[in-house]
Chains A and B, each alone.
Chain A
Amino acid sequence: MSGYAADTAASRGLALCHVCFKLSPVEQHICPRCGEHLHLRTPDSVQRAAALLITAAILYIPANVLPIMYTEQLGNTIPSTIMGGVILLWHHKSYPIAAVIFIASVMVPMGKLFSVGYLLWSVRAGRTSSKQQRTTLYRMTEFVGRWSMIDVFVVSILVALIHLSGVIVIRPGAAAVSFAGVVIITMIAAEAFDPRLIWDAGEDADE
């Protein structure tokens, strides 16, 4: 048995070229049209996604602990973290902005980390149930990825706009870099994950 689910291209020894998407028999090893190597599935998909996910998780710690920006007001430097900013806005009754920043900067990256982590775990464990939901989850993760850069954009704009030397200056903090890293690396991790693996596990049992 090949290990791939029945009635898929892979079960018939057909592989899709990564570059020109031509379907060819995998025995040819090389795409007859563009010369790219042929693989039934993205190689080391789980491993690569897991490695990137761990990197993102590590970066997420400084992104939240360190200040994302420094406000120098009349020589008085106030550092602010992401959560600190959310709490401050909430106290100032700016509930919608606080909610937006909280969702974009805290919930979305966390959600991405957990959803990719869950997908990887489910594939590794050979889970066969709720394949449809997991596919939806993967699609949402991929879609939402680029939108969580809001924080980084806000900081970049503030730093560029507010630069009255001596009166008020905003400088980016180390967390801005870390946070950008988290967003980018989770996006790559989501890309690295091959969603076909969800469907490969126990296709027979499923039908």
Chain B
Amino acid sequence: MSEAKAVVEKKRRINAVWFLPILAAVLGGYMVVYTFLTEGPTITITFRTAEGLAAGKTAVKALNVDVGIVETVELADDLTHVIVTAKLDAAAAPLLREDSRFWVVRARVGAGGVTGLGTILSGGYIELAPGEGEPVGRRHRYMGLETPPVTTAGTPGVQIALSSEQAGSVSAGDPVVYNGYTVGRIDTAKLDANTKQVQYTAFIDAPYDVMVSTGTRFWNASGIDLDASAQGIELRMASITTLIVGGVEFGVPDGVESGTAIQNGHAFKLYRSYKEAREEPYQYSAEFVLRFDQSIRGLGPGAVVEFRGVPIGQVERIMLAELAQIRNDGKADPIPVLISIQPGRLLLGDDQAAVDRIDAGIAMSIRHGLRATLKTGSLLTGALLVSFDYYPEAPDAELGQFAGYTTVPTVTGGFSQIEERVVQILDKVNNLELEATIASANGTLGELEKTLVATRKVVQSDGVQTLPADLAATLVEVRTVLESFSHGSPLYERLNRTVTELNATLQSLKGLAQRLETQPNSLIFSSESGPDPRPEARR
């Protein structure tokens, strides 16, 4: 072992080059952590259409400040809508609440004017309206709004809910006016498929929100309200703005308590017209069913119910559904009409006790002849109204039951009454014994005919036939006689002379008579010459 051998030592030391992977790992880890910490939430929003949206380009803005960007725009699996994935800045995370709303801002022309003009050149963007609900996670799904909400969150004022049975001409963005002054607007309009009612949310700006109280009534102020009812024709026109774009008006009708202040989200009924809002100021009403045996043409929901001309209620509806349910025989069932009587109209108070009083009062009055009847309210429109009155001669009747409502007995009235009388007259005409009369007239005519036949026989007899010839002969003789008296005939001359002579004689006799009159003694004494006699009138 004289030769030296290499002694190899296995040195286990860490090479400095390990610093490189550690540095890379640390840097990489730092980048990952930093990215994760500063990464904003990624949200998905569904829209019906991706119009104006571009992945990697369309911005998400809150109050027009960029807070994120659209990453992807994809079709949903069922191809009915698009799913937009947007990456938001970390600073925008607090904006994401449960009720945050997203909508696409495009150029729009609406009732409130033209909005989003800036997007024509820059392209649309997604507006984020932060809500006030609970904060949500970093990956939340939102339903995008198809139309932008009119009121941005945080506006001072009060939000109310309105429900209406028909949409009318009110739509989102329409103004809410008070006495013609715009104080708020309709935010959303949605048709509820279950209740078939249109649900609106409206926003009343501060400081006008204090004008809305529990007694406030809202009505559709759209355009022109022409109402032709039993009360006559009424025309009501709102402001020009609402005339063009529609709108909702509100106020407290006369005789209604204004009530107390309301909370956010208070629900109101949206009446179809001012008239309806005014006429429904009562909360309590007694309901009755009237069953009419006559045509109710002209009677509809809202028709007035009167007691001797005083409005006490209105017709609610014609109960055709209930009629169809109970109808099982072929008889002519009377048509049930549901009416409501508001004790408040009669100043009995607007509470349940007053309703009970109405119930009891009607039950008692039936015995004294209280009946309901249909009357013609307007000859022009043919609208009917229901009138309560006492008919002491009406046959006895009782309160009944129909579909859970109390029925009040009715008597026939209105045009039907006239109609009935005409029918009665026609019946009488029908019942006249015309046939006997006609028979006797026939007999008379037979007699007359016989008489005429007899007469003709007389006329046609020989004696009568020769009469004209005899008559002609007689006339010839008469003429001969007359000719003998005619001008120039000897008899005529003689007669004329005789008359002339008679005339002269009479003249001389006249002179004698005059003389005798002035001097009666001249018959005995001769006439003495005296002064000329003066003509004197007789006295």
Contacts and interface: CB of A to CB of B under 8 A. Distances in A.
Chains A and B bind each other: yes
Interface of A: 2-3, 13, 26-27, 40, 44, 47-48, 51-52, 54-55, 58-59, 61-62, 76-78, 185, 192
Given A40-B8, A76-B57, A78-B56, A47 B24 contact: no
Given A44-B17, A47-B18, A62-B31, 18 more contacts: A13-B6, A27-B6, A40-B8, A47-B15, A48-B17, A51-B17, A51-B18, A52-B20, A54-B21, A54-B24, A55-B20, A58-B24, A61-B28, A76-B56, A76-B57, A78-B56, A185-B20, A192-B17
Interface of B: 4-6, 8, 13-15, 17-18, 20-21, 23-25, 28, 31, 56-57
Contacts of B4: 27
A58 B25 contact: yes
A58 B31 contact: no
Contacts of A13: 5-6
B86 to A, nearest CB: 16
Which among B14, B17, B18 has the greatest number of chain A C-beta atoms within 10 A?
Answer: B17
Across the A-B interface, the 7 shortest Cβ-Cβ residue pairs: A54-B21, A58-B24, A55-B21, A44-B15, A55-B20, A51-B17, A48-B17
A76 B70 CA distance: 13
Given A47-B15, A48-B15, A58-B25, A3 B20 contact: no
A48 B21 CA distance: 10
Nearest to B31: A62
Given A47-B15, A48-B15, A58 B21 contact: yes
Contacts of B18: 47, 51
Contacts of A61: 28
B8 A52 contact: no
Nearest to B5: A13
Nearest to A59: B24
Contacts of A47: 14-15, 17-18
A2 B31 contact: no
Contacts of B25: 54, 58
A195 B324 CA distance: 101
Nearest to A76: B57
A198 B13 CA distance: 22
Nearest to B3: A13
Which among B8, B23, B56 has the greatest number of chain A C-beta atoms within 10 A?
Answer: B8
Which among A51, A52, A61 has the greatest number of chain B C-beta atoms within 10 A?
Answer: A51
Which among A48, A52, A55, A62 has the greatest number of chain B C-beta atoms within 10 A?
Answer: A55
Contacts of A192: 17
A44 B8 CA distance: 14
Given A52-B17, A55-B21, A62 B28 contact: yes
Contact residues of A: prevailing secondary structure = helix
A74 to B, nearest CB: 11
Given A2-B8, A3-B8, A13-B5, A51 B28 contact: no
24 contacts: A2-B5, A2-B8, A13-B6, A26-B6, A27-B6, A40-B6, A40-B8, A44-B13, A47-B17, A48-B17, A51-B17, A51-B18, A51-B20, A52-B17, A54-B24, A55-B23, A58-B24, A58-B25, A61-B28, A62-B31, A76-B56, A76-B57, A77-B56, A185-B20
Contacts of B5: 2, 13
B313 to A, nearest CB: 69
Contacts of B8: 2-3, 40
B6 A51 contact: no
Contacts of B14: 47
Contacts of A44: 13, 15, 17
A47 B15 CA distance: 7
Nearest to A75: B57
A2 B28 contact: no
A72 to B, nearest CB: 12
Contacts of A2: 5-6, 8
A184 to B, nearest CB: 11
A192 B20 CA distance: 14
Nearest to B10: A3
B28 A58 contact: yes
A61 to B, nearest CB: 7
A44 B12 CA distance: 9
Contacts of A27: 4, 6
A55 B24 contact: yes
Which among A2, A44, A78 has the greatest number of chain B C-beta atoms within 10 A?
Answer: A44
Contacts of B20: 51-52, 55, 185
A41 B361 CA distance: 121
A192 B21 CA distance: 15
Contacts of A51: 15, 17-18, 20-21
A38 B194 CA distance: 93
A96 B52 CA distance: 36
B34 to A, nearest CB: 12
A78 B56 CA distance: 8
B55 to A, nearest CB: 10
Contacts of A3: 8
Contacts of B56: 76-78
B349 to A, nearest CB: 72
Which among A3, A13, A26, A192 has the greatest number of chain B C-beta atoms within 10 A?
Answer: A13
Nearest to A10: B6
Contacts of A52: 17, 20-21
Contacts of A76: 56-57
A54 B57 CA distance: 37
A66 to B, nearest CB: 9
A99 to B, nearest CB: 27
Which among A47, A48, A58, A78 has the greatest number of chain B C-beta atoms within 10 A?
Answer: A58
A2 B539 CA distance: 210
A168 B4 CA distance: 73
A138 to B, nearest CB: 19
Nearest to A3: B8
Nearest to A11: B6
A186 to B, nearest CB: 12
